Amino acid sequence: MRFEELKTPVYVIDESRLEENCRILKEVQDKSGAKILLAQKAFSAYSTYPLIAKYLTGTTASGLFEAKLAYEEFHEAGKKNDKEVHVFEPAFNDDEIEEVCNIADHIVFNSINQLEHHRKAWEKAVNEGKLSVGLRTNPEFSTQEGHEIYDPCAPGSRLGIRFCDMPEELPKGVEGLHFHTLCEQGFEPLRDTFKAFEDRFGKYLGKIKWLNLGGGHHITRADYDRDGLIELIKYIKATYSIDLYLEPGEAIALDAGYLITTVMDIVNTEKYPVLILDTSAACHMPDVLEMPYRPPLRHSGEADEKSYTYRLSSRTCLAGDVIGDYSFDKEVNIGDRLVFEDMAIYSMVKNNTFNGMPLPDIAVMHDEDRCEIVKHFDYSDFKMRL
Ligand SMILES: Cc1ncc(COP(=O)(O)O)c(C=O)c1O
Protein backbone atom coordinates (compact mmCIF):
# COMPACT_ATOMS: atom_id res chain seq x y z
CA MET A 1 0.00 0.00 0.00
CA ARG A 2 1.20 3.55 -0.70
CA PHE A 3 1.59 6.14 2.09
CA GLU A 4 -1.34 8.16 0.65
CA GLU A 5 -3.60 5.12 0.64
CA LEU A 6 -3.31 4.22 4.33
CA LYS A 7 -6.62 4.45 6.16
CA THR A 8 -6.46 7.02 8.98
CA PRO A 9 -5.76 7.35 11.82
CA VAL A 10 -2.56 5.37 11.45
CA TYR A 11 0.90 5.41 12.98
CA VAL A 12 3.56 4.86 10.33
CA ILE A 13 7.05 3.73 11.30
CA ASP A 14 9.65 4.97 8.84
CA GLU A 15 11.96 1.99 8.50
CA SER A 16 14.83 3.80 6.80
CA ARG A 17 14.95 6.54 9.44
CA LEU A 18 14.79 3.95 12.19
CA GLU A 19 17.69 2.11 10.62
CA GLU A 20 19.68 5.32 10.21
CA ASN A 21 19.27 6.03 13.96
CA CYS A 22 20.39 2.49 14.75
CA ARG A 23 23.44 2.90 12.50
CA ILE A 24 24.46 6.05 14.38
CA LEU A 25 24.04 4.27 17.70
CA LYS A 26 26.06 1.29 16.48
CA GLU A 27 28.86 3.64 15.48
CA VAL A 28 28.84 5.11 19.00
CA GLN A 29 28.96 1.57 20.40
CA ASP A 30 31.85 0.59 18.13
CA LYS A 31 33.91 3.73 18.71
CA SER A 32 33.37 3.98 22.47
CA GLY A 33 32.96 0.39 23.62
CA ALA A 34 29.63 1.22 25.31
CA LYS A 35 26.71 -1.16 25.01
CA ILE A 36 23.45 0.44 23.89
CA LEU A 37 20.03 -0.92 24.83
CA LEU A 38 16.59 -0.06 23.46
CA ALA A 39 14.41 1.34 26.28
CA GLN A 40 11.14 -0.28 25.30
CA LYS A 41 9.00 2.15 27.29
CA ALA A 42 9.52 4.64 24.45
CA PHE A 43 9.07 2.28 21.53
CA SER A 44 7.98 -1.36 21.52
CA ALA A 45 6.61 -1.90 18.02
CA TYR A 46 8.18 -5.32 18.03
CA SER A 47 7.80 -6.06 14.34
CA THR A 48 10.85 -3.78 13.98
CA TYR A 49 12.89 -5.57 16.68
CA PRO A 50 14.75 -7.80 14.21
CA LEU A 51 15.98 -4.65 12.45
CA ILE A 52 17.01 -2.90 15.69
CA ALA A 53 18.63 -6.10 16.98
CA LYS A 54 21.05 -6.04 14.04
CA TYR A 55 22.64 -2.94 15.61
CA LEU A 56 22.06 -2.81 19.38
CA THR A 57 23.25 -4.96 22.29
CA GLY A 58 19.83 -5.58 23.77
CA THR A 59 16.84 -4.02 25.47
CA THR A 60 15.80 -2.65 28.79
CA ALA A 61 12.38 -3.22 30.34
CA SER A 62 10.24 -1.45 32.92
CA GLY A 63 8.96 -4.72 34.33
CA LEU A 64 7.94 -8.26 33.50
CA PHE A 65 5.78 -7.55 30.45
CA GLU A 66 8.38 -5.54 28.55
CA ALA A 67 11.06 -8.03 29.56
CA LYS A 68 8.92 -10.86 28.17
CA LEU A 69 8.33 -8.98 24.94
CA ALA A 70 12.07 -8.50 24.48
CA TYR A 71 12.77 -12.11 25.35
CA GLU A 72 10.22 -13.33 22.81
CA GLU A 73 10.86 -10.86 20.00
CA PHE A 74 14.30 -9.27 20.16
CA HIS A 75 16.48 -12.32 19.72
CA GLU A 76 17.44 -13.58 16.33
CA ALA A 77 15.07 -16.44 15.45
CA GLY A 78 16.10 -19.55 17.34
CA LYS A 79 18.99 -17.82 19.12
CA LYS A 80 17.68 -17.05 22.61
CA ASN A 81 20.11 -15.14 24.82
CA ASP A 82 22.15 -13.69 21.97
CA LYS A 83 20.87 -10.30 23.15
CA GLU A 84 20.81 -8.80 26.65
CA VAL A 85 17.57 -8.21 28.57
CA HIS A 86 17.85 -5.62 31.36
CA VAL A 87 15.04 -4.70 33.71
CA PHE A 88 14.44 -1.96 36.25
CA GLU A 89 11.27 -1.41 38.23
CA PRO A 90 10.78 0.69 41.38
CA ALA A 91 9.18 -2.36 43.06
CA PHE A 92 8.96 -5.91 41.73
CA ASN A 93 5.87 -7.97 42.46
CA ASP A 94 6.41 -11.12 44.53
CA ASP A 95 4.39 -13.09 41.96
CA GLU A 96 6.57 -11.92 39.10
CA ILE A 97 10.12 -11.78 40.43
CA GLU A 98 10.99 -15.40 39.67
CA GLU A 99 9.96 -15.07 36.04
CA VAL A 100 11.76 -11.72 35.76
CA CYS A 101 14.96 -13.32 37.10
CA ASN A 102 14.67 -16.18 34.61
CA ILE A 103 14.21 -13.89 31.61
CA ALA A 104 16.52 -10.98 32.46
CA ASP A 105 20.28 -11.11 32.54
CA HIS A 106 20.57 -7.76 34.37
CA ILE A 107 18.15 -6.62 37.07
CA VAL A 108 18.30 -3.22 38.79
CA PHE A 109 16.67 -2.57 42.15
CA ASN A 110 15.49 0.83 43.32
CA SER A 111 16.15 0.37 47.03
CA ILE A 112 18.09 -1.76 49.49
CA ASN A 113 14.68 -2.96 50.78
CA GLN A 114 13.73 -4.33 47.37
CA LEU A 115 17.15 -5.89 46.88
CA GLU A 116 16.95 -7.75 50.19
CA HIS A 117 13.23 -8.58 49.88
CA HIS A 118 13.89 -10.45 46.63
CA ARG A 119 17.34 -11.78 47.53
CA LYS A 120 16.31 -15.44 47.48
CA ALA A 121 14.85 -15.17 43.97
CA TRP A 122 17.77 -13.30 42.40
CA GLU A 123 20.51 -15.18 44.22
CA LYS A 124 19.25 -18.42 42.69
CA ALA A 125 19.58 -16.96 39.18
CA VAL A 126 22.96 -15.41 40.01
CA ASN A 127 24.27 -18.74 41.30
CA GLU A 128 23.12 -20.38 38.07
CA GLY A 129 25.22 -17.80 36.22
CA LYS A 130 22.16 -16.25 34.53
CA LEU A 131 21.84 -12.86 36.19
CA SER A 132 23.77 -9.77 37.25
CA VAL A 133 22.32 -7.44 39.90
CA GLY A 134 22.55 -3.66 40.19
CA LEU A 135 21.22 -0.74 42.21
CA ARG A 136 19.74 2.47 40.85
CA THR A 137 21.25 5.57 42.39
CA ASN A 138 20.01 9.13 42.54
CA PRO A 139 22.93 11.49 41.88
CA GLU A 140 20.70 14.37 43.11
CA PHE A 141 21.92 16.49 40.23
CA SER A 142 19.08 18.08 38.30
CA THR A 143 19.82 19.27 34.80
CA GLN A 144 16.29 19.88 33.58
CA GLU A 145 14.10 22.92 33.65
CA GLY A 146 10.36 22.87 33.28
CA HIS A 147 9.45 19.18 33.01
CA GLU A 148 9.45 18.15 36.66
CA ILE A 149 7.47 14.97 35.93
CA TYR A 150 10.40 13.78 33.82
CA ASP A 151 13.08 14.71 36.37
CA PRO A 152 14.11 11.79 38.60
CA CYS A 153 16.39 14.18 40.50
CA ALA A 154 13.59 16.58 41.44
CA PRO A 155 13.23 17.07 45.22
CA GLY A 156 11.22 14.24 46.78
CA SER A 157 12.00 11.80 43.94
CA ARG A 158 11.39 8.11 44.68
CA LEU A 159 13.70 7.02 41.86
CA GLY A 160 17.15 5.83 42.85
CA ILE A 161 19.04 5.60 46.13
CA ARG A 162 20.52 8.86 47.39
CA PHE A 163 24.13 8.74 48.53
CA CYS A 164 23.06 9.35 52.16
CA ASP A 165 21.00 6.13 52.01
CA MET A 166 23.76 3.98 50.51
CA PRO A 167 25.50 1.49 52.78
CA GLU A 168 29.22 1.91 53.45
CA GLU A 169 29.95 -1.25 51.40
CA LEU A 170 27.92 -2.50 48.45
CA PRO A 171 25.62 -5.34 49.57
CA LYS A 172 26.82 -8.85 48.73
CA GLY A 173 25.91 -9.80 45.16
CA VAL A 174 25.63 -6.28 43.76
CA GLU A 175 27.73 -5.98 40.59
CA GLY A 176 26.43 -2.83 38.94
CA LEU A 177 25.14 0.70 39.45
CA HIS A 178 22.63 2.66 37.43
CA PHE A 179 21.42 6.22 37.13
CA HIS A 180 18.80 7.74 34.87
CA THR A 181 18.34 11.48 35.17
CA LEU A 182 18.00 13.00 31.69
CA CYS A 183 15.15 13.68 29.26
CA GLU A 184 15.67 14.70 25.60
CA GLN A 185 19.09 16.16 26.43
CA GLY A 186 22.43 16.70 24.79
CA PHE A 187 25.86 15.48 25.90
CA GLU A 188 26.76 18.31 28.31
CA PRO A 189 24.14 17.46 30.98
CA LEU A 190 25.38 13.85 30.92
CA ARG A 191 28.99 14.98 31.36
CA ASP A 192 27.98 17.18 34.32
CA THR A 193 25.80 14.45 35.84
CA PHE A 194 28.57 11.87 35.58
CA LYS A 195 30.92 14.28 37.35
CA ALA A 196 28.39 14.73 40.18
CA PHE A 197 27.89 10.94 40.32
CA GLU A 198 31.64 10.32 40.38
CA ASP A 199 32.13 12.87 43.18
CA ARG A 200 29.54 11.17 45.37
CA PHE A 201 29.48 7.52 44.37
CA GLY A 202 33.08 7.25 43.13
CA LYS A 203 34.16 5.02 45.99
CA TYR A 204 31.96 2.23 44.63
CA LEU A 205 33.23 2.51 41.06
CA GLY A 206 36.27 0.34 41.72
CA LYS A 207 34.02 -2.40 43.12
CA ILE A 208 31.52 -2.89 40.30
CA LYS A 209 31.49 -4.61 36.93
CA TRP A 210 29.11 -2.31 35.11
CA LEU A 211 27.55 1.12 35.15
CA ASN A 212 24.34 2.05 33.34
CA LEU A 213 23.97 5.74 32.41
CA GLY A 214 20.21 5.43 31.77
CA GLY A 215 18.31 7.11 28.95
CA GLY A 216 17.28 10.61 27.92
CA HIS A 217 20.32 11.03 25.62
CA HIS A 218 19.26 12.47 22.24
CA ILE A 219 22.28 10.84 20.61
CA THR A 220 20.75 10.64 17.13
CA ARG A 221 19.86 14.33 16.97
CA ALA A 222 22.04 16.16 14.45
CA ASP A 223 23.45 18.61 17.04
CA TYR A 224 24.35 15.96 19.65
CA ASP A 225 28.04 16.00 20.60
CA ARG A 226 28.72 12.33 19.86
CA ASP A 227 32.50 12.78 20.00
CA GLY A 228 32.13 14.14 23.53
CA LEU A 229 30.04 11.11 24.51
CA ILE A 230 32.58 8.70 23.02
CA GLU A 231 35.43 10.38 24.92
CA LEU A 232 33.51 10.29 28.22
CA ILE A 233 32.72 6.59 27.82
CA LYS A 234 36.32 5.80 26.98
CA TYR A 235 37.45 7.73 30.06
CA ILE A 236 35.05 5.85 32.37
CA LYS A 237 35.95 2.46 30.90
CA ALA A 238 39.69 3.11 31.08
CA THR A 239 39.63 4.60 34.57
CA TYR A 240 37.40 2.05 36.27
CA SER A 241 37.64 -1.04 34.00
CA ILE A 242 33.88 -1.52 33.87
CA ASP A 243 31.26 -2.19 31.21
CA LEU A 244 29.23 0.84 30.27
CA TYR A 245 25.56 0.78 29.26
CA LEU A 246 23.33 3.46 27.76
CA GLU A 247 19.61 2.81 27.51
CA PRO A 248 17.99 5.49 25.36
CA GLY A 249 14.45 5.07 24.11
CA GLU A 250 13.73 8.23 22.13
CA ALA A 251 17.09 8.27 20.33
CA ILE A 252 16.31 4.96 18.66
CA ALA A 253 13.09 6.02 16.98
CA LEU A 254 13.55 9.79 16.96
CA ASP A 255 11.90 11.35 13.89
CA ALA A 256 11.15 7.86 12.62
CA GLY A 257 7.38 7.85 12.63
CA TYR A 258 4.22 9.71 11.63
CA LEU A 259 0.62 9.85 12.68
CA ILE A 260 -1.64 10.45 9.69
CA THR A 261 -5.06 11.90 10.40
CA THR A 262 -8.07 13.12 8.36
CA VAL A 263 -10.02 16.34 8.87
CA MET A 264 -13.61 15.27 9.68
CA ASP A 265 -15.23 18.66 10.25
CA ILE A 266 -14.41 22.35 10.68
CA VAL A 267 -16.16 24.31 13.45
CA ASN A 268 -16.17 28.11 13.49
CA THR A 269 -15.39 29.79 16.81
CA GLU A 270 -14.78 33.37 17.91
CA LYS A 271 -11.08 32.51 17.67
CA TYR A 272 -9.49 30.19 15.10
CA PRO A 273 -11.66 27.72 13.20
CA VAL A 274 -11.28 24.28 14.78
CA LEU A 275 -10.35 21.20 12.75
CA ILE A 276 -12.05 18.09 14.13
CA LEU A 277 -9.57 15.30 13.42
CA ASP A 278 -9.97 11.54 13.54
CA THR A 279 -7.05 11.45 15.97
CA SER A 280 -6.80 12.75 19.53
CA ALA A 281 -4.12 14.21 21.76
CA ALA A 282 -5.64 12.53 24.83
CA CYS A 283 -5.88 9.09 23.20
CA HIS A 284 -3.20 8.85 20.54
CA MET A 285 -0.45 11.28 21.61
CA PRO A 286 -0.97 11.75 25.37
CA ASP A 287 2.45 13.39 25.83
CA VAL A 288 1.09 16.42 23.98
CA LEU A 289 -1.10 17.08 27.03
CA GLU A 290 1.07 15.46 29.69
CA MET A 291 4.45 16.93 28.90
CA PRO A 292 3.11 19.22 27.31
CA TYR A 293 4.59 19.68 23.84
CA ARG A 294 3.63 20.72 20.34
CA PRO A 295 4.01 17.92 17.79
CA PRO A 296 5.58 18.93 14.48
CA LEU A 297 3.09 18.89 11.61
CA ARG A 298 4.18 18.57 7.98
CA HIS A 299 3.76 21.72 5.78
CA SER A 300 2.58 23.93 8.65
CA GLY A 301 3.76 26.93 10.67
CA GLU A 302 3.12 28.58 14.01
CA ALA A 303 -0.24 30.27 14.52
CA ASP A 304 -0.58 33.27 12.17
CA GLU A 305 2.78 32.58 10.50
CA LYS A 306 1.08 31.44 7.27
CA SER A 307 -2.19 32.65 5.74
CA TYR A 308 -4.66 30.20 7.34
CA THR A 309 -4.57 29.35 11.04
CA TYR A 310 -6.60 26.58 12.66
CA ARG A 311 -6.88 24.99 16.07
CA LEU A 312 -6.28 21.24 15.69
CA SER A 313 -8.54 19.18 17.89
CA SER A 314 -10.24 15.85 18.15
CA ARG A 315 -13.54 14.07 17.91
CA THR A 316 -13.50 13.21 21.64
CA CYS A 317 -15.77 15.14 24.02
CA LEU A 318 -12.86 16.41 26.12
CA ALA A 319 -12.83 20.21 25.74
CA GLY A 320 -9.08 20.29 26.31
CA ASP A 321 -8.31 17.63 23.71
CA VAL A 322 -6.43 20.21 21.65
CA ILE A 323 -3.21 19.46 19.79
CA GLY A 324 -2.30 23.08 19.10
CA ASP A 325 -2.74 26.04 16.75
CA TYR A 326 -1.11 25.66 13.32
CA SER A 327 -1.10 27.73 10.15
CA PHE A 328 -1.07 26.69 6.47
CA ASP A 329 -0.44 28.32 3.08
CA LYS A 330 -3.75 27.00 1.75
CA GLU A 331 -7.20 26.68 3.24
CA VAL A 332 -7.80 23.29 4.86
CA ASN A 333 -10.86 21.32 3.77
CA ILE A 334 -12.88 18.48 5.20
CA GLY A 335 -11.33 15.23 3.98
CA ASP A 336 -7.76 16.60 3.88
CA ARG A 337 -5.05 14.45 5.40
CA LEU A 338 -2.50 15.88 7.84
CA VAL A 339 0.76 14.26 8.89
CA PHE A 340 2.17 14.66 12.41
CA GLU A 341 5.90 14.01 12.56
CA ASP A 342 8.10 12.37 15.20
CA MET A 343 5.27 10.09 16.27
CA ALA A 344 7.04 6.78 16.80
CA ILE A 345 8.14 7.48 20.38
CA TYR A 346 5.92 7.47 23.47
CA SER A 347 2.83 7.26 21.24
CA MET A 348 1.89 3.63 20.47
CA VAL A 349 3.10 2.59 23.92
CA LYS A 350 0.91 5.16 25.68
CA ASN A 351 -2.30 5.32 23.68
CA ASN A 352 -5.73 4.44 25.03
CA THR A 353 -9.38 4.08 24.01
CA PHE A 354 -10.92 6.86 26.16
CA ASN A 355 -14.31 7.89 24.71
CA GLY A 356 -14.35 4.60 22.83
CA MET A 357 -11.86 6.08 20.38
CA PRO A 358 -10.46 3.49 17.96
CA LEU A 359 -6.73 2.89 18.23
CA PRO A 360 -4.78 3.90 15.12
CA ASP A 361 -3.42 1.00 13.09
CA ILE A 362 0.35 0.55 13.00
CA ALA A 363 2.09 0.46 9.62
CA VAL A 364 5.73 0.06 8.67
CA MET A 365 6.89 2.11 5.70
CA HIS A 366 9.56 0.16 3.82
CA ASP A 367 9.48 3.01 1.28
CA GLU A 368 6.78 5.54 0.20
CA ASP A 369 5.21 3.00 -2.12
CA ARG A 370 5.43 0.04 0.24
CA CYS A 371 3.62 0.50 3.54
CA GLU A 372 2.64 -2.60 5.42
CA ILE A 373 -0.06 -2.70 8.11
CA VAL A 374 1.44 -4.68 10.99
CA LYS A 375 -1.39 -4.12 13.49
CA HIS A 376 -5.05 -3.46 12.95
CA PHE A 377 -7.34 -2.54 15.86
CA ASP A 378 -11.12 -2.57 16.15
CA TYR A 379 -14.02 -2.60 18.62
CA SER A 380 -12.76 -5.76 20.31
CA ASP A 381 -9.61 -3.95 21.51
CA PHE A 382 -11.84 -1.44 23.30
CA LYS A 383 -14.22 -4.03 24.75
CA MET A 384 -11.66 -6.56 25.96
CA ARG A 385 -10.10 -4.13 28.43
CA LEU A 386 -13.29 -3.26 30.26
C1 LIG B 1 15.11 4.04 33.74
C2 LIG B 1 14.91 4.61 32.37
N3 LIG B 1 15.75 4.24 31.38
C4 LIG B 1 15.61 4.70 30.12
C5 LIG B 1 14.59 5.58 29.79
C6 LIG B 1 14.46 6.04 28.35
O7 LIG B 1 14.51 7.41 28.26
P8 LIG B 1 14.40 8.15 26.84
O9 LIG B 1 13.29 7.52 26.08
O10 LIG B 1 14.09 9.57 27.21
O11 LIG B 1 15.72 8.01 26.19
C12 LIG B 1 13.68 5.99 30.79
C13 LIG B 1 12.59 6.91 30.48
O14 LIG B 1 11.81 7.31 31.28
C15 LIG B 1 13.85 5.48 32.11
O16 LIG B 1 13.00 5.81 33.08
How many angstroms separate the CA atoms of 12 and 338, rounded? 13
CATH number of 3-11+257-343+351-383: 2.40.37.10
Q: Is the CB of 323 under 6 A from ligand 1?
A: no
How many angstroms separate the CA atoms of 167 and 271, rounded? 59
- For 262-309, what is each residue's pLDDT tens digit? 999 999 999 999 999 999 999 999 999 998 999 999 999 999 999 999
Instruction: Provide mean pLDDT across the span 76-85.
Output: 86
Whole-prediction pTM value? Answer: 0.97
CATH number of 33-253: 3.20.20.10
pLDDT for the residue numbered 228: 98
Query: Which of 247, 291, 345, 350 has most ligand 1 atoms within 8 Å of its beta carbon, as the pocket-test mutant?
Result: 247
Q: Is the CB of 109 under 6 A from ligand 1?
A: no
Structure-model confidence comparison of residues 147 and 18, the more confident one: 18
Is residue 109 predicted with pLDDT exceeding 90?
A: yes
Give me ligand 1 centre to Cα 246, in Å.
Answer: 10
With beta carbons less than 8 A apart as the criterion, state whether 236 and 211 touch. yes
Which of 190, 94, 174, 79 is closest to 136 using CA atoms?
174
Instruction: Provide mean pLDDT across the span 180-205.
Output: 97
Partner residues linked to 38 by β-bridges: 59
β-strands 370-375, 361-367 pairing: antiparallel
Q: Is the CB of 360 under 6 A from ligand 1?
A: no
CA 245, 11, 349, 381 torsion-angle sign: negative
Is residue 76 predicted with pLDDT exceeding 90?
A: no
Average pLDDT taken over every residue of the chain: 97
CA nearest ligand 1 atom 9, residue: 249
CA separation, residue 206 to residues 176, 191, 218, 228, 239 (Å) = 11, 19, 29, 23, 9
Which of 358, 347, 355, 303 is closest to 328 using CA atoms?
303
How many angstroms separate the CA atoms of 311 and 309, rounded? 7
- For 121-144, what is each residue's pLDDT tens digit? 999 999 999 999 999 999 999 998
Give me ligand 1 centre to Cα 201, in Å.
Answer: 21
pLDDT for the residue numbered 185: 97
The number of residues in the chain equals: 386
Query: Which atom of ligand 1 is found nearest the CA of 247?
Result: 4
With pLDDT > 70 as the criterion, what percentage of the chain qualifies? 100
Q: Residue 301 carries which DSSP code?
A: B
Query: Worst-scoring range by mean pLDDT, 34-43, 74-83, 310-319, 347-356?
Result: 74-83
Domain ranges of the chain: 3-11+257-343+351-383, 33-253
Is residue 59 predicted with pLDDT exceeding 90?
A: yes
